[in-house]
């Protein structure tokens, strides 16, 4: 990706926008299609950098994927995965890292090496690697003390019983996806599972594909072995995580925005943004055709928000809290610390540069107070959600804000800047040199 800055200025929004497909669903769909022998058709996939990374590594395992506008066709290989001839480079995609780490243990011969960019090589992978070892597979980190990629995996996921800490659902999802193809089946005991909507999303895919499983609450999951995936045709729902940005932008400015393509019945956890905005006093309406309309201009009021099931939301929720009267408290932040960055800490530092009044009540409770923001230079930290959240914050800041790493928005919301500009956001994408001149 070419380095870009966003020069963002205060402004209001007006109009309608369609939200792209869900990254979480698209990633799962591509891997399920790879593990199903025959042709699967995926409609409305999100054309994000992360999802293209998933397609690339699945091709290395033998899948044939044809990418066309609005539809991806995948000819899968089932359990006849090919030993890759090169490292499986997942780029910046943590979801792909973890799912492909487990998928690689289905190889009948040979080994695979999974790695990615600098952030991926810091993402904690030890619990998943240990679980795969418990289940009979070859799995180890090349840097044992790091507990992170590069990871070597190989035959064979026999099955059995293992345990996982519950702070990161991305360690459990891969075992649920690969367990049906194991010989003996997989049972996973999970301690205090966070991010439950992501597991509900994975289980919804297993239901769709006819896979048998059982669970005891959110504590124990059992997937019988000896099953198989069949090819499928599916339409990817719109991404609630992406929708949060224009919805919050409208709520904190004197704007009126309608976003379309969303489904409140979808398992995605970030649909909680509707209830959060309602609770804080925003003028928000759910329309019958999948539209969500927000009118700004109302006084917002602070509230306490449990982020355990919405770990991608703390950056944009911190921005929302900075424009609400009283105190907004974000808590249960453990899962949010294990993403591309320690997101609660990152947004705390970057919004503080803009003048936000924030403090840590405890290590797990971030308090945000009503703040007057001002433009400044922001480090996007190679994190798409920090980039997009601070761009929204710039709409209510005095003066210009220069945000580095703007190209990283394409990781999850490939047309974020185009969508926001179509609504009237005064955002400009410029090269490094141009950014220096325009903010001098």
**Catalytic site residues?**
312
Is 339 annotated as a binding-site member?
Answer: yes
> CB–CB of 309/321 below 8 Å?
no
Please say whether the beta carbons of 302 and 325 come within 8 A. yes
**Lookup: tokens for 97:** 């890292």
> Is 385 marked as a binding-site residue?
yes
Cβ proximity of 364 and 333 under 8 Å = yes
CA dist 304 and 218 (Å) reads: 24
Joined tokens for residue 237:
């729902």
Give the number of other Cβ atoms within 10 Å of residue 283's Cβ.
Answer: 15
Number of DSSP helices (H) and strands (E) in the chain, helices first: 13, 24
Task: Give yes or no for a contact between 347 and 386, defined as CB atoms under 8 angstroms apart.
Answer: yes
Residue 54's alpha-carbon distances to 45, 60, 103, 334, 409, in angstroms, are 12, 10, 12, 26, 17
Asked if residue 343 belongs to a known ligand binding site, the reply is yes
Q: Does 123 belong to an annotated binding site?
A: yes
How far is residue 106's CA from residue 270's CA, in Å, rounded to a whole number? 32
Q: Report d(CA 62, CA 137) in Å as an integer.
A: 20
Helix (H) or strand (E) holding 314: helix 314-321
Q: Using alpha carbons, select from 124, 210, 223 the residue that is nearest to residue 181.
A: 223
- Taking the C-alpha atoms of residue 381 and residue 203, their distance in angstroms, rounded to an integer, is 32
Q: Is 64 annotated as a binding-site member?
A: no
312 known member of a binding site: yes
28 annotated binding-site participant = yes
Q: Which of 328, 233, 235, 224 is nearest to 276 (CA)?
A: 328
370 among annotated binding-site residues: no
CB under 8 Å to 217, separation ≥6 — which residues? Answer: none
237-380-317-200 Cα dihedral, nearest 10 degrees: 40
Which residue ranges make up the annotated binding site for 3-phosphoshikimate? 23-24, 28, 169-170, 312, 339
Positions at the binding site for phosphoenolpyruvate: 23, 94, 123, 170, 343, 385
Provide the annotated binding site: 23-24, 28, 94, 123, 169-170, 312, 339, 343, 385
């Amino acid at each position: 990706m070419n380095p870009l800055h966003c020069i963002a200025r205060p402004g209001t929004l007006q109009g309608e926008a369609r939200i792209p497909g869900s990254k979480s669903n698209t990633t799962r769909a591509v891997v399920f299609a790879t593990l199903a022998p025959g042709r699967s058709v995926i409609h409305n996939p999100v054309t994000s950098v992360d999802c293209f990374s998933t397609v690339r590594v699945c091709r290395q395992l033998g899948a044939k994927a044809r990418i066309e506008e609005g539809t991806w066709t995948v000819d899968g290989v089932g359990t006849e995965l090919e030993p890759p001839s090169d490292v499986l480079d997942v780029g910046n995609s943590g979801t792909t890292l973890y799912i492909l780490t487990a998928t690689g243990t289905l190889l009948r011969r040979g080994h695979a090496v999974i790695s990615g960019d600098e952030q991926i090589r810091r993402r904690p992978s030890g619990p998943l690697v240990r679980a795969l070892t418990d289940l009979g597979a070859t799995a180890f980190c090349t840097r044992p003390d790091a507990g992170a990629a590069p990871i070597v995996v190989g035959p064979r996921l026999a099955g059995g019983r293992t345990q996982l800490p519950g702070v990161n659902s991305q360690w459990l999802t891969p075992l649920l996806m690969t367990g049906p193809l194991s010989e003996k089946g997989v049972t996973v005991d999970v301690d205090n599972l966070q991010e439950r909507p992501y597991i509900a999303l994975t289980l919804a895919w297993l239901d769709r594909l006819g896979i048998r499983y059982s669970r005891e609450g959110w504590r124990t999951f059992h997937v019988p072995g000896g099953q198989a995936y069949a090819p499928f045709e599916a339409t990817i729902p719109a991404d609630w995580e992406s929708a949060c940005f224009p919805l919050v932008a409208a709520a904190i400015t004197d704007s009126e925005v309608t976003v379309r393509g969303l489904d409140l019945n979808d398992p995605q956890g970030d649909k909680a943004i509707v209830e959060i905005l309602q609770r804080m006093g925003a003028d928000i309406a759910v329309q019958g055709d999948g539209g969500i309309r927000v009118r700004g201009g109302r006084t917002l009021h602070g509230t306490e928000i449990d982020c355990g099931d919405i770990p991608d939301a703390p950056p944009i929720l911190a921005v929302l809290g900075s424009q609400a009267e009283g105190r907004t408290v974000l808590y249960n932040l453990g899962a949010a610390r294990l993403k591309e960055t320690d997101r609660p800490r990152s947004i705390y530092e970057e919004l503080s540069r803009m003048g936000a009044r924030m403090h840590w009540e405890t290590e797990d409770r971030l308090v945000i107070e009503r703040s007057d923001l001002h433009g400044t230079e922001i480090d996007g930290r190679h994190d798409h959600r920090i980039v997009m959240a601070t761009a929204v914050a710039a709409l209510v800041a005095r003066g210009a804000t220069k945000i580095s790493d703007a190209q990283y928005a394409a990781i999850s919301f490939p047309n974020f800047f185009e969508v926001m500009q179509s609504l009237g956001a005064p955002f400009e994408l410029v090269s490094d040199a141009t950014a220096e001149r325009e903010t001098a």
